[in-house]
Structure 1
Amino acid sequence: MLKLDGIASFVAVAESGSISEAARRLNLSKSVVSERLAEIERVLGASLLHRTTRKVSLTEDGAAFLEKAARIIRDVDDAVADMAERRGTLSGPLRISAPVTFGRMHLGPALYPFLAKHPMLEVTLDLDDRRVDAASEGYDAVIRHGGLEDSRLVAWQLAASQRLLVASPEYLAQQGTPGTVDDLQSHRGIFYTNRGVADWRFEGQQSALVVRAKTAFRVNNGDMILDAALAGLGIALLPTFIAGAAIKSGSLQVVDVGLPTATEYIYVAHPEGRRASAKLKELVECLRQAFGSPPYWDVCRHPM
């Protein structure tokens, strides 16, 4: 007879592609996950996974079994959540991915009171600046900054995100302060690699304007972009949720070239086809209230 914990282990391994990662998600040892996989294959009389030293992949039987197995796990999780809602409580696991800098600076302080209010929740937060695949990597939701590119996600806006060109006073004293978009081309830029091309985009009267400055530094982390700008390496385009405090203190100065950058958003998204749970909806409302509208980090609308 198939056991639910064996099905859950198989789904976690199939979604993560790794027994080690599945064990981490389930908070189990690798040996326990391996034993559960062996048991479910024995009961089914079929091999579900190809195992190598580097990765795990699905067999033909495994791929056929995964769709219904994943649905079973989601249905059980939904049933547990429904029972908790009937009792007026939020409980059970909630796995979320969020950007590193935003998570550290703003998500954490908003999340901790929510967890204290709902002690039966089991929240796992993975901070990662890459764009994770929410569905295949087993996340209930992802929190992101920027534009929504994955059409398989259903998104809710949490807050607007204002972005400003900034540089240290020392850099601007040495290199001069650009006053137009064209002036930027002779300056050194600090760029975020996860956005692809090293450029800055502005909203022109007719269409978007793209500017490419000389690259001083490229990195995939917002904290290090801030540090590089503070160190005087060049000009950076940073959201105010990262640069706001430095702008207020005068450690960074806003560079005004006469055109606004495109407005972006902080949003939370969950995989298409999955019902948004009550605990996710409650979290969204909690975060919206904590961030405010406009958000408290927006230096042009709020005193920091």
Structure 2
Amino acid sequence: MMKLDGLAAFVAAAEAGSISEAARRLGLAKSVVSERLAELERSVGTRLLQRTTRKLSITEDGRLLLPRAHRILFEAREAAAEITERGGTLSGSLRISVPVSFGVLHLGPALYDFLAKHPAIDLTLELDDRFVDAAADGYDAVIRHGPIGDSRLVARRLATTRRMLVASPDYLARAGTPRSIEALEGHRGIIYTNREADWRFDGPSGWTVVRPRAALRVNNGIVMRDAALAGAGITLLPTFFIHQELAAGALQRIDVGYEAEGGELFIAHPRARTASSKITALTEALRAAFGDPPYWDR
């Protein structure tokens, strides 16, 4: 008979690609994970993972079992949580993926308050700017800034966001302050590489696109902000990165007569799973913590 701890070891090893990393994620010794995997393979009568000295790969039988193992573990966790919730307590594991910069700057205080109210929840927070596969990688939910294009996910809006063109007073003193869309093309841009390099602005005639000359391309918003603070050029950033710097005068907003394309912050969970009470409670806690409009846009 398959045991839940064996299925958990199998799922962690299949996702991590190594027994060592699976052991780290589970908080167990490597030998314990190996033993649980071996016991699971004996119980199903087939090899689920192919082990070599260099890597761990999943077999065809393992690929067949993996999505069912996910569902079994999810249902087991949810069943235990529902029993606890009948007594008015949220409990159980919760694994969330969040963009690095937003998580560092804004998620902590909201989550700490949430965990203080629900101490029986075991939260795993993974900061990652990759667009992880929530369904396949075993996340209960992901938080993303921008559209959710995966039809396998159900998304709920947490907050709206604005984007602004900004630069340091030093850069603008040296290079001049652009007052029009056309003037932007003569300036140095700090560009986010995980998004289309174009800057989009909404004007009277519709969307206008600007392709600035890149001084720096980088996939992290905090680095973009810091490069702008250092006078490297003009950047277009969500206000949750720069609201304090704008208030202090360390960065200045650049008005070219058009509003930059905005965005939205979402939390999304796999469509194949009903949103748990924990996800619903977390969603409401984050909405309350960010506010409407969010505090970075007030």
Counterpart code for 2:281: E
- My pick for the range that moved more, 286-295 or 100-109, is 100-109
What is residue 293 of structure 2 aligned with on the other side? 294
Amino acid paired to 1:147: P
Q: What CA distance in whole angstroms lies between the structure 1 residues aligned with 2:54 and 2:258?
A: 49
Any residues of structure 2 matched to 1:277-292 within 5 Å, and which? Answer: 277-292=276-291
Q: Is residue 130 of structure 1 aligned with residue 130 of structure 2? A: yes
Structure 2 SS opposite 1:93:
strand
Secondary structure of 1:215 counterpart: strand
Paired residues of 1:16 and 1:137 also in contact (CA < 8 A): no
Check the 8 A contact 1:144/1:266 in 2, yes or no: yes
Question: 1:239: which partner in 2?
Answer: 238
Bigger drift between 203-212 and 234-243 goes to 203-212
Question: What is the RMSD computed on CA atoms of the aligned residues?
Answer: 1.4
Aligned partners of 1:189 and 1:234 also within 8 Å: yes
Are the equivalent residues in 2 in contact too, given 1:222–1:242 (CA < 8 A)?
yes
| Residue 52 of structure 1: aligned partner | 52
The 3 A distance-change label for structure 1 pair 206 and 22 is: farther
Shift of 1:153: 1.3
What's the secondary structure of 2:114's corresponding residue? helix
Is 1:16–1:138's contact at 8 Å kept on the other side of the alignment?
no
Identity among equivalent positions (%) equals 61
* Unpaired segments ≥5 residues, structure 2: none
Tell me what 1:201 maps to. 200
1:222 is displaced (CA, Å) by 1.2
Equivalent in the alignment of 2:251: 252
The answer to whether 1:27 aligns with 2:14 is: no
SS at match of 1:194: coil
1:235 shift after superposition: 0.3
Superposed displacement of residue 17, structure 1: 3.0
Distance 1:126 1:53 in 2: 28
Distance change in 2, residues 1:137/1:68 (3 Å): closer
Moved more, 180-189 or 54-63: 54-63
Instruction: Summarize the alignment of residues 156-167 of structure 1 with structure 2, pairs less than 5 Å apart.
Output: 156-167=156-167
One-letter amino acid of the structure 2 residue matched with residue 159 of structure 1: A
Q: How does 1:63-212 map to 2 (within 5 A)?
A: 63-195=63-195, 197-212=196-211
Identify the range of structure 1 (24-33 vs 261-270) with the bigger mean alpha-carbon deviation. 24-33
Equivalenced residue count is: 298
Which runs of at least 4 in structure 1 moved beyond 6 Å after TM superposition? none
- Deviation (angstroms), 1:244: 0.4
Q: TM-score, normalised by structure 2?
A: 0.96
How far off its partner does 1:206 sit?
4.1
